[in-house]
Amino acid sequence: MDRLSDLPEPILQQIYSWIPTEEFVRTSVFLDLSGDSALYSPPQFCYFSSSLTSLRLSMCIIRLTRGVSWTSLKTLVLQCVILVGDIIHQVVLGCSQLQSLELLHCVGYYALSIYSTSLKRLVITDSEPPSVYISGADLEISAPNIESICMSGDLYRKCLLTNLSSLLQATLYFYGTKLFNHEQDRLLEVLESLEHVKNLKLGEWCIKVLAIREKKGLPCRPLKCKSLVVNTSLKQEDIPGILLLLKCSPDLETLTLNITSPEFEQHLYESEVGKLADFSNFAGDRYLNSQVDGIDCLQLKLRTINITHFVEQNLLLPFIKFMLREARVLKNMEIRSKYMDPNSPLNSLFNVARELSDMPKSSPNVVVKLHNSNEMVSLTIF
């Protein structure tokens, strides 16, 4: 049981005045609260420090009566924190040097208007809180000076992104066990708000949503991204989603596929995707070849393809061959294996290299490099 929080405020201040500020913050936010104890609320004087540069607050309630003054703070992480009032606005005003802000599973914020010129990185993991905390309000973000944003978690509420004119990189790692229509619509709204971003990263769930949209014949608003990173197991239902991204990214120069384990997402999506769409005809050479005309980046822009955690599976190698056949200005393809046959890694790597070297390629200048997981074997194909 946490007895310290039950003490009167004047006594708490006297006790904590003997502790350096950094040590106070480190010890006060990781209290072991159990039983009927309420979440800890740090006393007001701890929000004033001129020497603190990095701070992580977890499992507490933040209430401010006198504002915030962390004049040297550069990194702030709030995890599982209840925010009472317009906390984020006050924090940004009181942290003139703040560069990175992370809000992880926090409750109580709905409108983020961030005009700080120093804050460049914003990370938000949004998860549906207990119903007692839900007000039904959407999440609105306006941050004209932010250069990097990472959003993950549930899309249980709308995310309205406005005035992100300086944004250079966006990462969307939303997840869930369902693919409800309203969640799909919310993802598309977020993507449309990021159409000007040059560097885009998307997780598995996002690819599933885009695949369903492609299956239905629904377009996606053009994106201006030049670098695209996709996490995918490249199962049959993923191919249409990746192709839709390529179709709506005519300026794409670099494509990176991070291959994930199929088992990781099978229990999450397989049954739900099966209910929503039949992808049996959306794989294989016939389908891939039918999509070439709508993918402008293959003709004009795509110069680099990176594939990490490569494994030999039914759809990955045909997809690689498709890209080599159709990417006319491709210069570099780099494939890094997750693992090869432990008994004969050279044979496995050579087999892949042989298949790729013997096939026709659209670009006469492409160089394909293959590496095994421990960097002991490296092959180059011209």
* Model confidence band, residue 34 (pLDDT cutoffs 50, 70, 90): very low
Note the pLDDT of residue 382: 62
Residues 228 and 162 in one domain: no
Q: Is the dihedral of CA 288, 289, 292, 294 positive or negative?
A: negative
The region of weakest confidence among 36-50, 85-99, 204-218 is 36-50
pLDDT tier, 161 (very low <50, low <70, confident <90, very high otherwise)? very high
- Helices 316-326 and 345-357: crossing angle, nearest 10°? 30
pLDDT value of residue 376: 56
Residue 22 has pLDDT above 70, yes or no: no
- Tokens 């044979």 appear where? 347
pLDDT at 247: 95
Distance set, CA 258 to CA 30, 66, 99, 369 (Å): 35, 47, 28, 16
29 and 119 in a common domain: yes
In a 3-state reduction of DSSP, which class is residue 379? strand
Q: Which residue has the higher pLDDT, 39 or 131?
A: 39
- Per-residue pLDDT at 315: 79
Q: Which pLDDT does position 130 carry in this prediction? A: 64
Is 330 inside a domain boundary?
A: yes
228 occurs within a structural domain: yes
What mean pLDDT, rounded, does the chain reach? 81
Same domain, 131 and 222: no
Asked if residue 283 and residue 160 are part of one domain, the reply reads: no
Residue 218 sits in the same domain as residue 341: yes
Task: Name beta bridge partners: 126.
Answer: 153
Question: Could you give the number of structural domains in the chain?
Answer: 2
| Lowest-confidence pick of 31-45, 124-138, 251-265 | 31-45
Residue 273 has pLDDT above 80, yes or no: no
Predicted model pTM:
0.84
- Please compute, for residue 234, the number of CA atoms within 13 A of its CA located in the half-sphere on the CB side: 22
CA atoms within 13 A on the CB side of 204: 24
Domain assignment of residue 189, yes or no: no
Match 């013997």 to its residue by tokens. 358
Bigger pLDDT: 70 vs 372:
70
More confident residue, 225 or 183: 225
Q: Which of these three, 167, 186, 219, is where a domain ends?
A: 167
Please give the residue range of the domain that contains residue 120: 1-167
Residue 60 pLDDT > 70: yes
Same structural domain for residues 122 and 31?
Answer: yes
Q: Which two tokens stand for residue 115?
A: 């005009």
Residues 17 and 143 in one domain: yes
pLDDT band, residue 30 (cuts 50/70/90):
very low
The tens digit of pLDDT for each residue in 286-339 reads 888 888 888 999 999 999 999 998 876 667 888 999 999 999 999 999 998 865
Quick one: CA torsion of 325, 327, 332, 337, rounded to 10 degrees?
-60
Beta bridge partners of 232: 259
148 or 369, greater pLDDT: 148
Residues 273 and 128 in one domain: no
Q: Does pLDDT of 213 surpass 70?
A: yes
CA-based nearest residue to 143, from 165, 171, 169, 170 = 165
Is 287 domain-assigned?
yes
User: Do 235 and 275 share a domain, yes or no?
Assistant: yes
Q: What integer is the mean pLDDT of 84-100?
A: 92
Q: Which residue has the higher pLDDT, 7 or 257?
A: 257
In a domain, 188, yes or no: no
Confidence at residue 305, expressed as pLDDT on a 0 to 100 scale:
97
* Beta pairing, strands 254-259 & 227-232: parallel
Does 46 share its domain with 156?
yes
Weakest mean pLDDT among 2-11, 89-98, 160-169, 354-363: 2-11
Select from 327, 372, 307, 325 the least CA-distant residue to 346: 372
Contacts 24+ apart (CB under 8 A), 286-295: 287/239, 288/239, 288/243, 288/318, 288/319, 288/322, 289/322, 291/243, 291/247, 292/326, 294/247, 295/243, 295/246, 295/247, 295/326
Residues 297 and 366 in one domain: yes
Q: What is the pLDDT of residue 1?
A: 37
Q: Are residues 162 and 208 in the same domain?
A: no
Domain stop point among 147, 167, 187:
167
Residue ending a domain, among 167, 186, 213, is 167
Q: What does the angle CA 119 – CA 120 – CA 122 come to, to the nearest 5 degrees?
A: 90
